[in-house]
Structure 1
Amino acid sequence: MVSTETESEIEAYLGQVPSWIAALPEPAADHSWGIVRDLELEETKLTQREKALVALGAAAAIQCPYCTHFHTEETKLEGVTDAERDEAVAVAGNVRLFSSVLHGASVDHDEFVSETGDIVEHIKEQQATAHGDD
C-alpha cells in the first residue's frame, strides 16, 4: 500500500487512486508510483504523445489487455488518430515477429551487429547524397 502522502499525490494526478495501486507491495509502492509519475506523466525528452505511442506498442507486443486499454485511451487524450495507433501497434508487432525469427534461428549476434553497422553507413551515405542534390 502507498503512503498517505503518495495516495494524495496520485489522486491529484489521476482524480482517484486506482484499485491496482493496492497490488503494489508496500516496500516498493511509493517508489513504483514515483517511476510512473516521473517517467510517464512528467515532462521528459519525449512528448506525452510519443510516450503514449511507445507505451501502446509495448502493451500490444506483450499482449497485456490492461496496458493496451489504458494506453489506447492515453493516445486518444494526446490526439493520436486511429491510423497512427494502428501503425504503432503494427510496428511493435513487426519488432516482436522479427525478434522471434532472430532468436528462433539463433542468428549470430556479432554478425547482426556488424551488418547493422554496414546498413546504417549505407543509409547515411544515401541521405548525404539526397541532401547534396538539393
Structure 2
Amino acid sequence: MAASDVAKMREELTQLFGQVPGWVDELPESAAAGFWATMRDFQLAETRIPNKYKELIGLGVSGATRCRYCALFHTEAARLFGATDEEIAEASMMAAHTMAASTFLNAQQVDYDTFRRETLEMVAYARLHAGAASATQATQATQVAGHA
C-alpha cells in the first residue's frame, strides 16, 4: 500500500469515526487497502441490504464465531443504523437457533439430499397454500398451535 493510500485511509477513518483505531496500524500493508475498501464500500456503504441488517448479520456471525471484538463492533454499528435492543436480541437468538439446528443436523449426520428435498417441498407447499406474503403468518400460526 503506497504511503498516499495509507494517508487517505487514515483520513477517511478519522472523518468517519473521529479517530484511527490502533489495530488498523497492525494490519499488514498488503491487506490494509483491501480490508478498508470492503469495510467502506460494502459493510458501511448503502447496498441492497440495509446497513442495519448487515450489522445484525455481522452480530449473528460474531456470536457463532465467539468473537467479542466483532460482537461489540456489530452491536454498536447496528444501533448506529437504528437497531433496537429487541432487534439485537432477536438477531442473537436467530444465530443461536441456527447454530443449534446446525449442530443437531451435523451431529446426527442427516442425509443432505433428503434434507434438501424436504426443505424445497415445504417451501413450495407454503408458497402454494399461504402465498409469499402470508408465509410468515402461516409459520407463526403453526408455531403458536404447536405450543398451545
Structure-1-length-normalised TM-score: 0.87
Query: In structure 2, the residue corresponding to 1:98 is in which secondary structure?
Result: helix
Task: Work out which of the residue numbers 43, 59, 72 in structure 2 matches 1:56.
Answer: 59
Distance in 2 (alpha carbons) for counterparts of 1:8 and 1:83: 35
Residue 102 of structure 1: how far off its partner (Å): 1.3
Distance in 1 (alpha carbons) for counterparts of 2:64 and 2:128: 33
Query: Residue 11 of structure 1 aligns with which residue?
Result: 14
Distance in 1 (alpha carbons) for counterparts of 2:78 and 2:34: 25
More helix per residue:
2
Task: Work out which of the residue numbers 71, 76, 80 in structure 2 matches 1:77.
Answer: 80
Structure 1 segments of 4 or more deviating over 4 A? none
Query: Residue 111 of structure 1 aligns with which residue?
Result: 114
Residue 79 of structure 1: how far off its partner (Å): 2.5
Residues 4-32 of structure 1 show CA distances to partners (whole Å, capped at 9, x for unaligned) of 22222222222111112123211111111
Distance in 2 (alpha carbons) for counterparts of 1:23 and 1:130: 48
Distance in 1 (alpha carbons) for counterparts of 2:81 and 2:30: 33
Contact 1:56 1:89 in 2 (8 A): yes
Query: Residue 25 of structure 1 aligns with which residue?
Result: 28
Residue 86 of structure 1: how far off its partner (Å): 0.7
The answer as to 2:42 corresponding to 1:39 is: yes
Contact 1:56 1:67 in 2 (8 A): yes
Q: 1:39 to 1:79 in 2, by over 3 A?
A: same
The size of the alignment, in residue pairs, is 131
Structure of greater relative contact order (alpha carbons < 8 Å, 6+ residues apart): 1
Residue identity over aligned pairs, in percent, reads 37
Residue 125 of structure 1: how far off its partner (Å): 1.3
Contact 1:61 1:89 in 2 (8 A): no
Residue 128 of structure 1: how far off its partner (Å): 3.1
